[in-house]
């Protein structure tokens, strides 16, 4: 019989700089200790890093709710740093109502319509990078690309978009503890919240863009006009920093695996699986939480109502129980079932856009660049949730 006393306890702080820099030994230890563990520095939560349990928790929204926050803070006990997201930090039926609208706006059909523009921007940017020869993979490619194409698609004006970077950093840091990373993010916020909220207003959004389409749903009575800017905010919080780091991590993976890049160069149609495998191998969003909505269990281990459950997405995506040779970045793998984009009812609503961005950037590289060489040491940008790079010096060898 299991009781809470039998849960293994490990002395890891997932938010300590050394764990954020290299989380993989910790993931291994958490997975091997058991399906559910406790972490000494955070005695009120339980954590899972095996694929089976992470997947099960994410797919059980009745027992494991999002409305009390999807970070460390339990909104039942402490207020969130900003008004709660109407979709990410919500449960059915409200979640379903919001999700229906955003899924429609970001449907496969809508994504087909933006494809040509996204591809043309990727080709132009890769050409500029190639002309430079040696680039910073983050500042010259992974960052400017989503910062251009995604706000363009939402319909946000070009001026001041750098605020989106500061905001994204803050949102994802706020899902961890009140540590130095959060304090530094908060100190940079200055006018950012005001800018974000102003740019969620209809008057700032290009008619017909993804943002304006949310207001059209309000015009049709599907949501209120007060809810509309909050849903635009979801696009702006969740759609930029995530893809920047998804692309950055993919460049990192390819630069460090020249044989895999050679396969991609030989067959650019591998761009999509190469991006997908990068999401698995180096998960952009490392962690998301749920809260037990009632007394429940994970793998037979009792979990009391209101307990925070830390899901290590990055750990699940390298679980040897699920993936053969999980540490290997292998573009021939079809990593179906990875949880880098979540799973279940909250699974990333922007995933078609994220995949499109990954695919068109890697295709443009594959066609024009024979080899990507590491041109110097990279540096990491530590964030409480995101696996992010600050700099990534690369040399692009033309085809």
Q: Residues interacting with ligand HEM, by CB under 6 A?
A: 58, 66, 70, 87-88, 99, 102, 106, 234-235, 238-239, 242-243, 246, 284-285, 288, 340-342, 346, 348-350, 353-354
The smaller minimum CB distance to ligand HEM, of residues 70 and 125, is found at 70
CB of 59 to ligand HEM, least distance (A): 10
The smaller minimum CB distance to ligand HEM, of residues 239 and 326, is found at 239
CB of 352 to ligand HEM, least distance (A): 8
Helix axes 241-255, 258-266, angle to 10 degrees: 100
Alpha-carbon distance values, 71 to 88, 161, 197, 363, 387 (Å): 11, 25, 22, 34, 15
Whole-angstrom Cα distance, residue 246 to residue 263? 20
The smaller minimum CB distance to ligand HEM, of residues 61 and 302, is found at 61
The smaller minimum CB distance to ligand HEM, of residues 250 and 372, is found at 250
The smaller minimum CB distance to ligand HEM, of residues 326 and 350, is found at 350
CB of 397 to ligand HEM, least distance (A): 26
Helices (H), the chain: 17-21, 24-33, 51-58, 94-105, 108-132, 144-154, 162-173, 180-188, 192-199, 210-219, 227-238, 241-255, 258-266, 271-281, 313-316, 351-368
The smaller minimum CB distance to ligand HEM, of residues 333 and 346, is found at 346
The smaller minimum CB distance to ligand HEM, of residues 31 and 280, is found at 280
CB of 266 to ligand HEM, least distance (A): 25
Residue located via tokens 């702080």: 13
Using CB positions, name the residue nearest to ligand HEM.
350
Contact 166, 272 (CB under 8 A): no
The smaller minimum CB distance to ligand HEM, of residues 257 and 346, is found at 346
Whole-angstrom Cα distance, residue 385 to residue 285? 6
CB of 151 to ligand HEM, least distance (A): 11
Whole-angstrom Cα distance, residue 320 to residue 276? 18
Task: Tally the C-alpha atoms within 13 A of residue 392's C-alpha that lie toward its C-beta.
Answer: 27
CB of 58 to ligand HEM, least distance (A): 6
CB of 288 to ligand HEM, least distance (A): 4
Cβ neighbors of 97 (< 8 A, separation 6 or more) are 222, 223
Helix (H) or strand (E) holding 43: strand 42-48
What 147-153 contacts at long range (C-beta under 8 Å, 24+ apart), as own/partner pairs, is 147/240, 147/244, 148/121, 149/114, 149/117, 149/118, 149/121, 149/357, 150/235, 150/239, 150/240, 150/243, 150/353, 150/357, 151/236, 151/240, 152/117, 152/209, 153/114, 153/117, 153/118, 153/209, 153/210, 153/353
The smaller minimum CB distance to ligand HEM, of residues 243 and 383, is found at 243
Per DSSP, what are the bridge partners of residue 397?
371
CB of 9 to ligand HEM, least distance (A): 25
CB of 157 to ligand HEM, least distance (A): 18
The smaller minimum CB distance to ligand HEM, of residues 15 and 118, is found at 118
CB of 134 to ligand HEM, least distance (A): 26
Q: What is the dihedral of CA 198, 138, 312, 344, to 10 degrees?
A: 60
Per DSSP, what are the bridge partners of residue 394?
135, 374
């Amino acid at each position: 019989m299991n009781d809470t006393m039998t849960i293994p306890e490990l002395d890891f702080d997932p938010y300590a700089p050394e764990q954020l820099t290299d989380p993989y030994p910790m993931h291994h230890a958490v997975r091997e200790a058991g399906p559910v563990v406790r972490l000494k520095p955070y005695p009120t939560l339980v954590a899972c890093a095996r694929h089976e349990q992470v997947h099960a928790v994410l797919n059980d929204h009745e027992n494991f709710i999002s409305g009390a926050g999807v970070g460390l803070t339990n909104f039942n006990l402490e207020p969130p740093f900003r008004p709660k997201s109407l979709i990410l930090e919500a449960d059915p039926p409200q979640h379903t109502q919001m999700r229906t609208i955003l899924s429609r706006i970001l449907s496969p059909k809508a994504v087909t319509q933006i494809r040509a523009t996204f591809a043309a921007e990727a080709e132009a940017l890769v050409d500029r990078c190639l002309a430079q020869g040696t680039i910073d993979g983050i500042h010259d490619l992974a960052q400017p690309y989503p910062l251009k194409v995604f706000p363009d698609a939402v319909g946000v004006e070009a001026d001041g978009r750098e605020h989106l970077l500061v905001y994204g950093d803050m949102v994802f840091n706020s899902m961890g503890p009140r540590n130095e990373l959060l304090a530094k993010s908060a100190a940079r916020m200055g006018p950012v919240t005001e800018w974000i909220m102003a740019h969620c207003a209809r008057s700032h959004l290009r008619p017909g863009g993804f943002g304006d389409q949310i207001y059209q749903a309000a015009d049709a009575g599907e949501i209120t006009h007060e809810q509309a800017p909050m849903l635009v905010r979801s696009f702006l919080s969740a759609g930029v920093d995530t893809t920047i780091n998804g692309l950055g991590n993919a460049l990192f993976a390819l630069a460090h695996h020249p044989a895999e890049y050679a396969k991609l160069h030989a067959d650019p149609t591998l761009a999509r699986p190469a991006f997908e495998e990068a999401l698995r191998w180096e998960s952009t969003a490392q962690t998301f939480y749920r809260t037990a909505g009632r007394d429940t269990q994970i793998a037979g281990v009792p979990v009391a109502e209101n307990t925070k459950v830390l899901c290590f997405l990055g750990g699940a995506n390298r679980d040897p129980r699920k993936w053969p040779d999980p540490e290997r970045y292998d573009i021939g793998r079809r990593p179906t079932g990875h949880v880098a984009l979540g799973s279940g009812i909250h699974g990333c609503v922007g995933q078609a856009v994220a995949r499109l961005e990954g695919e068109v950037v890697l295709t443009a590289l594959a066609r024009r660049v024979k080899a990507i060489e590491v041109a110097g040491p990279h540096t990491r940008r530590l964030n409480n949730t995101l696996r992010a790079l600050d700099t990534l010096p690369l040399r692009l060898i033309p085809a």
